[in-house]
Every structure is written in C-alpha cells, then in structure tokens.
Structure 1
Amino acid sequence: MRRTAGELADGREIIYFDDTPDAPPRHAVDTRDLPRTQPLSEVRRDPLTGEWVAMAAHRQTRTYKPPADLCPLCPSTPGKPTEIPESSYDVAVFENRFPSFAQGVPDLPPTVDGMPMVARAPGRGRAEVVCFTSDHNTSFGQLPPSRVRTVVDVWADRTAALSGLPGVEQVFPFENRGEEIGVTLHHPHGQVYGYPFVTPRTERMLAVAADYRRTHDRPVMGDVLAAERAVGTRVVAEGEHWTAFVPAAARWPVEVHLVPHRQVPDLPALTDAERDDFAALYLTVLRRLDALYDRPLPYIAAWHQAPVRTGRDLAWLHLEVFSILRTADKLKYLAGSESGMGVWVNDATPEQTADRLRTP
C-alpha cells in the first residue's frame, strides 16, 4: 500500500492510500477557492450525569443529500471539483470540512456563564472522512477482500495518528449506512473521530471489565467469547482469528459483534493474519445482513477501541454492527424507555436473529 499526503485548498489534510499496483502518483491540486475554516466546537459536561456533550453549530450548513453528479466524495472531473482533487483513487482520507472536533478550536472560559457547575472546554480533537472507494454506486459489503484489508490498515493508520494529537483521548472509526440511519452522502464512506474525552459507553465498559477482572481474574470479553463459541446458538460466522455473534443481551433488532480471539487494545495492535481474517469474515457478515430482509440494510458499524491513555489493559477491541430496521419496512424507534431511561426493549431474541443470519 502506498501512502501519499497532500493539502486541500483551505489547508485541510488529505491522504491517499493506494493498493492498485499501477495507481498514478498523487499530485493533483485542489483548484477550489475555499476560505480557511474556523471550527468553533466545544464540549460541556452535564452536571447531572457527568457526561460530556459536544456542541458544533457550524455543522448546520454541511452538505445535505446532493445529487449523484454533485457528490463531494467522488473524484474531481473537469469543471466539477470535489473534496478529492484526483481523477480516481483507491482509499482517501481527509479532514472533515464541517468537523465535530478539530485542532484549531479557540480557548474558552472553563465554565458556562452563570453555571459554575457546568464545565466547558474547547472541542479539540479531529474528525476525518474515510472514502472506501471512488465508485459511488457500490457499498462496503461489495468491496473485494483486498480493498477491505486496505481499509483495515487505513483505520489502524488513522488510529495511531489521531492518538498522537494534542487533546485526543479516544479514537473512534465508524461507518453510517442508509438514510434511515441519517446518512446525507450516499458515497461509500466512514468517519474517524478523535474525541477530547473518553466516551460514556467506553467508560462504562471499562468499569464493568475492571469489576469482572477483580472478581474472576479474567477479562470479561474473553469469557463472553469463549461461552458464545462453545454454545454456538448465537454465532453467525467464524474465522481463524475472529468470531461474529449476536450478543446474548442484544439491544438492537439486528446486532452483531465481531471479536478477535486474542485480546488487543486497538486496531494498530492487530497482526497481518488477524487483519486478513477480519476482512474475509466481515464481508461474510455484511452479505448476510443485506440478505436478512432482501434489501440493503441500514446500519452503523462502530469500532470499540481502548482509550489513548487509560484502560488499555482492560479493553478488548471489537466491532459492533447494528441496525434500527426490525422488519423489511419497519424501524425500531428509540422512544420513551430507550431514549428517556436508557432501558432497551428488543422485539426479537438474539437467538432468533442469529439463526436467520446463519443462513447463507
């Protein structure tokens, strides 16, 4: 894989990751007349829950469902410059033009005016867009295994890079797919966030992992994985180094976890063999997800990694893929119990879902 870094017209970084042997050199210039961006992201700590909430009002003007011929993630063509100046690419990563978090955020007062109990801080971090292919009309699940393997290397590269940035406490690669999820650009792409705090979900998982280790002297994910593989009723697919299963306490109508057999904290820690095996297994899972309702499944694919500076001995890297589609034409709405109290009610048992996904 060849890695080439460049700069867009407004100073944002763009990086090309080429896996095609005869890919041309990347030297195209972004000809757009773009002003330098000044993100004004901030984070505020909820005094009732202790959780950080991000504020990024500048994102209200971001691109929203453009027609295919004006897609900003496709390669540039004469007269139609995009976010990617090249006429083709394999995988491209660039700083989001409308970031939730950014490095150049100005300083802020430490608390909200008149609310000394509400801590406030600049939203310093990073938000990147990862374009998986230059083909607008495909999906991640239709990529060849070699390209998925490249994307795994890209995720690892960006995790390492963002982990080294000032203020970043956790790196989160993810993909949103489908309008039902809220996707506003249909080109196959994902994102990587560098958060300036450890996320609430990760804090909770690390606390549970610490309690379990104190009691059992073993990692909780290791025991979960061993039990799921032994009983088999919720296993969807297996590889040499990874297992995909519907968790026994699944929240979402469709939910699959892809877990490596070896405890590693993050994507950079995976071996070449583990990355190869993941690429093959993930494509199998995505094909089965699309076959579930005989339509492209809207989903979120979320990587759970260790924070940059804490809990690295407790965390166990895994990918969570889930969908809000509970039937071919019905959505699972996060209504009173889920949204108000955080108590989930699932309309299908994990065993039922796994049984349907095991069918090729």
Structure 2
Amino acid sequence: MPSITKRVHTLADGRELIYFDDADTALAPDRAPDLRHPEARPATATMRQDPLTGEWVSIAAARQNRVFLPPAELDPLAPATPSNPSEVPSNYDVAVFENKSPSFGPAITDADAPQSLEDLAAIGIGRARTSVGRCEVVCFSPEHEGSFGSLTPSRARTVIEAWADRTAALSALPNVQQVFPFENRGEAIGVTLRHPHGQIYAYPYITPRTTRLIASVEQYGPTLFTDILKSERSSERVVLTGEHWTAFVPFAARWPIEVHMLPHRQVADFAETSDAERGELATLYLRLLRGVDALYETQTPYIAAWHQAPVAVHRSDIRLMLQLTSPRRAADKLKYLAGSESAMGAWIGDVPPERAAQLVREAIARADRDSPVHPTDGEAAR
C-alpha cells in the first residue's frame, strides 16, 4: 500500500525543512532548493523566572517582527513563486520547518541553558537561563486559507504522521523536556496568518499546566487518566467515540466550548500511537472540528492543544490528550478572561458542561449530514 513519505531539506539560512507527502500524493519527489539570500537568525531568547510562582517566562523580542495578516499574494507559508519568495520553496502536501522568529531556540545547547529539572525548580531573585529548544511551523496545506478541519482525511492523516515524527525527533534533542503540538484558529484567538497551519514547541522545561497535572497524578495515583476516561465515557458529556478514541466535554469545563479527546489506552505522546489509532483519529478529529464549526453560522475560533507527557518523567501515567477550547459563548459574544480568571486563576463557567455537550453533539450531527467525513480507501486500509 502507498505510504506517507518524509523528505528532509534545508533552507538557505540553515533551518530544517521537512516535506511529508500524502499516501495518495500527486506530487513528484523532487523539491526545489531555497534560493533566497541567507539572513542571520535571531539570537536565542532568554527566559526569566517569576519568583512568586517559580514559572519561567521567555523574553523573545524577535517575535515582534513576525508577519501580521499578509495578503494572499504575500503568504509566507504558501509555496514560493518569483513574486513571493516564501518559507517553502516547492509545492507540498504538508511541510514542517523551524520558525524564523522562535520563542525557544535556535540554540539547543548553551552554557547558560537549564542544567536540570532541579535547577529549574529552585527559586531565586533575578534567575535567568537561555531559552534553548525549538519551535516549528506545521503547514497543513499549500492553500492560503483554512484550518485542520478543512483537510481531507488523507491529508489529516499526513499531519498526524508529521506530529508523531516531530514529537519523536524533538524529544530526542538535548535539553528538551516537553513537546507540544497545537493549532490556533481565528483572529479572535490572535492568529497572525490565515494559512492553515499549526506549531510545535519543544520546551526546555515542563510547562506549568503539566507541573500541576503531575502533582494531581502523584496525589491521586497512576490510574488518574484511566479513571477519568471511564467516568466520562459513562456520562452524558460524550460527544464522539470510536474504537480507539473518545471525545467529551469535561466535568469541570472552564470554557464555553471545551472538548477533550483521549485515546483508550495509555500512550504518552503521538510517537507512541499505533497506525490504527492515527488512522481513526484522522476522521474523528475532522468530525469534531467540523462539528464545532457548525455550532454557529460563522467559523468558530479555537485553540487545539495536544497535551503530551514530559520527555523523561511520568511517561506511564500521563496520557496524550486533546484540549480544544473556544471563548465563543454565543453567536456574537466571546468570553474574556477578566479579573477572577486572569489575576487569580479562579474560573467561572458560563455554560453547564452537560448543555455544552448536547450542543456539540447536535452540531456534529449537522456537520456529518451536510459534509460527511469518509476515509479514503488507503486511509481505511492503514
């Protein structure tokens, strides 16, 4: 059977560029070189510790220079043309490359990099470390506009393969403690490019969210995710389920639209998923996203966050999980994080989770009827 193909290239300034060709691709294997004049890469940022919380903040001033909502003819993620020397020299199915203005990296090692998790956990005044790591851009399609939900099942499967490949590769880099694939969708979220794409961050520390999760696992026990999934699958909050995955509105949802998706077995990250799990996810995830878009007459802004276990700890009890959130609480209203949420981290939910689950289920049913997602023959066979 045809398979997804990985092709590794290098951009003019030395950044890595990887093409992932669909299993049913129409593209030739050759790719054009990057003929742009190489520019100097920005200096690696510095991260500073907040002694009140112990959290680390990367001060990445180079990000101020990134492109903001360019016209289609100047899309930096589109295949390059003579009038638009973009980041991707050739036409592609899926392309992954190192971010030009990263929050972490380009340095992977440095004399002032974090020395260990113990070093990061110590509290002090004026503590700083180099923001080593890597940030990558994942282009879902050569089209100028869209999102993951607008992909074909075959292309969705290719993106998932790219996530798995890059998770394994980035986890193997020195000083990387956690790898995080995500998609920001919609200008209400703060998106600066309309091109269908996501990102992958390879952090030099374990993120605050995961640090709190580790504390919960250590207090509750190693069956936390198993027990959550069992409880949610028996509730009225399930919105979508398959042989390998279940999506549900969580019991204590914070956002007006919030859906979690878990695999049915313990897998720490995308690299540990099976071929069957990746194949089913390609169609279930498309159905979920198209359902979220069907909630209202206009597209729904969201953040699709794929939480993965840290690289070196709690691999056997922290499970890969999607957290899809949207601030949209009505057709013409957004939830803003005001005083209680922003300053105190004390959330107040606007929509009962059971009601939200009902609305999402109904929207998925409408989307399935109006725009059904069917796996391709190759997809079904993988």
Same fold (TM over 0.5): yes
Residues 1:201 and 2:170 are matched in the alignment: no
* Residue type of the alignment partner of 2:5: R
What is the Cα deviation at residue 130 of structure 1?
0.1
Whether the 8 Å CA contact 2:113–2:131 is kept in 1: the answer is: no
3-state SS in 1 of match to 2:127: strand
Q: Distance in 1 between matches of 2:340 and 2:173?
A: 38
Q: Distance in 2 between matches of 1:15 and 1:350?
A: 40
What is the Cα deviation at residue 80 of structure 1?
1.8
Whether the 8 Å CA contact 1:298–1:325 is kept in 2: the answer is: yes
Match for 2:81 among 77, 80, 89?
77
Match for 1:42 among 46, 66, 84?
46
Q: Show the counterpart of 2:172.
A: 164
What is the Cα deviation at residue 104 of structure 1?
2.2
Whether the 8 Å CA contact 2:51–2:124 is kept in 1: the answer is: no
What is the Cα deviation at residue 117 of structure 1?
2.1
3-state SS in 2 of match to 1:282: helix
Q: Distance in 2 between matches of 1:126 and 1:168?
A: 8
Q: Show the counterpart of 2:273.
A: 270
What is the Cα deviation at residue 24 of structure 1?
1.2
Q: Show the counterpart of 1:184.
A: 192
Residues 1:134 and 2:116 are matched in the alignment: no
What is the Cα deviation at residue 108 of structure 1?
4.5
Q: Distance in 2 between matches of 1:274 and 1:197?
A: 28
* Residue type of the alignment partner of 2:102: P
* Residue type of the alignment partner of 1:9: A
Q: Show the counterpart of 2:65.
A: 61
CA 1:28–1:330: 2 relative to 1, 3 Å? same
Q: How does 1:287-298 map to 2 (within 5 A)?
A: 287-298=290-301
Q: Distance in 2 between matches of 1:318 and 1:338?
A: 23
User: Segments of 4+ in structure 1 off by > 6 A?
Assistant: none
Show CA shifts across 1:74-122 (max 9, x none).
1112232100000x100000000000011427645999xxx96232110
Q: Distance in 2 between matches of 1:70 and 1:22?
A: 25
3-state SS in 2 of match to 1:201: helix
Residues 1:151 and 2:159 are matched in the alignment: yes
Residues 1:302 and 2:305 are matched in the alignment: yes
5+ residue gaps, structure 2: 366-382
Q: Distance in 2 between matches of 1:160 and 1:338?
A: 34
Residues 1:29 and 2:33 are matched in the alignment: yes
The percent identity for this pair of structures is 55
Q: Show the counterpart of 1:92.
A: 95
Q: Distance in 1 between matches of 2:77 and 2:300?
A: 21
Whether the 8 Å CA contact 1:4–1:26 is kept in 2: the answer is: no
Q: Distance in 2 between matches of 1:259 and 1:27?
A: 37
Show CA shifts across 1:153-173 (max 9, x none).
100100001011111100000
What is the Cα deviation at residue 40 of structure 1?
2.9
> Structure 2-normalised TM-score?
0.89
Whether the 8 Å CA contact 2:17–2:95 is kept in 1: the answer is: yes
Q: Distance in 2 between matches of 1:22 and 1:124?
A: 38
* Number of residue-to-residue matches in the alignment: 351
What is the Cα deviation at residue 55 of structure 1?
1.0
Show CA shifts across 1:48-82 (max 9, x none).
11111111011111111111111000111223210
Residues 1:174 and 2:177 are matched in the alignment: no
What is the Cα deviation at residue 34 of structure 1?
3.2
Deviates more, 1:93-102 or 1:3-12: 3-12
Whether the 8 Å CA contact 2:146–2:194 is kept in 1: the answer is: no
What is the Cα deviation at residue 39 of structure 1?
2.6
3-state SS in 2 of match to 1:358: helix
Match for 1:11 among 5, 14, 17?
14
Q: Show the counterpart of 1:345.
A: 348
Q: Distance in 2 between matches of 1:166 and 1:320?
A: 27
Q: Distance in 2 between matches of 1:219 and 1:149?
A: 29
